[in-house]
Structure 1
Amino acid sequence: MDSIVKISGLLSKRVEGGGFVKSTGIVRKVDELGRVVIPMELRRVMGIADKDGLEIFVEEEKIVLKKYEPACVFCGSASDVHNYRGKAVCKECAGEMSKFVS
């Protein structure tokens, strides 16, 4: 049975795994090119700026958008990642590589 509660002024629905999905009450139509506009207020609240990348996932019958966080090409970590010649490298891997440079 679904349970609906109010969290931070938004209606939230408990989902499998114990988490909540927040309902914004916003409905957008898909245009003829397949685009959907994410409202400015929602982008501001979620910290999504112009030109930010979004990853697209599919979970069962849901489309999930997640703000893209570059991950280290060597270890996959998304923590303390810097761009080096177009590649994402974390501080730890950069330190490991520096041991091999004389």
Structure 2
Amino acid sequence: MKSIGVVRKVDELGRVVLPIELRRVFNIEIKDPLEIFVENDKIILQKYNPGKACAITGEITPENKTFGNGELTLSPRGIEMLLQELSDYQLQR
């Protein structure tokens, strides 16, 4: 994980301000929904995109990858399942 050298305080309502530079880089506009993930001792924010669900497992994870010119989204577990199914198919031929 890369530090950008910015520290922000949490206000009394639990809010944290994202620097404008980050919002520009990640194309986060006012009222855009963000997903919140927890991984061990880390809090991860990601711009919400419901189209990023794995086509096989339905999982939405920060590790999901898009393939086939943006037509197919797979989670790491979905990739493993698809590879196994393709391997089994090749063996049956």
Report the TM-score range of the alignment, normalised by the length of the smaller protein: 0.5 to 0.7
Judged with a 3 Å threshold, the aligned counterparts in structure 2 of structure 1 residues 71 and 23 are, in CA distance, closer, same or farther, namely same
In structure 2, list runs of 5 or more residues that go unmatched.
60-65, 72-93
TM-score when normalising by structure 2: 0.54
Q: In structure 2, give the amino acid aligned to 1:68.
A: Y
Query: Larger Cα Rg: Structure 1 or Structure 2?
Result: 1
User: Higher helix fraction: Structure 1 or Structure 2?
Assistant: 2
Equivalent residue, structure 1, for 2:86 = none
Which of 6, 30, 33 lines up with 1:53 in the alignment? 33
Taking CA–CA contacts closer than 8 Å with sequence separation of 6 or more, which of the two structures ends up with the larger relative contact order? 2
Offset from partner CA, 1:11-45 (integer Å, 9 cap, x none): xxxxxxxxxx2211000000000000001111001
| 1:39 match | 19
Paired positions, count: 59
Q: Which runs of 5+ in 1 are unaligned?
A: 1-20, 81-102
* Post-superposition offset of 1:72: 8.2
C-alpha deviation, 1:49, in angstroms? 1.1
CA RMSD of aligned residues (A): 2.4
The verdict on how the C-alpha distance between 1:72 and 1:40 changes in structure 2, with shifts beyond 3 A counting, is: closer
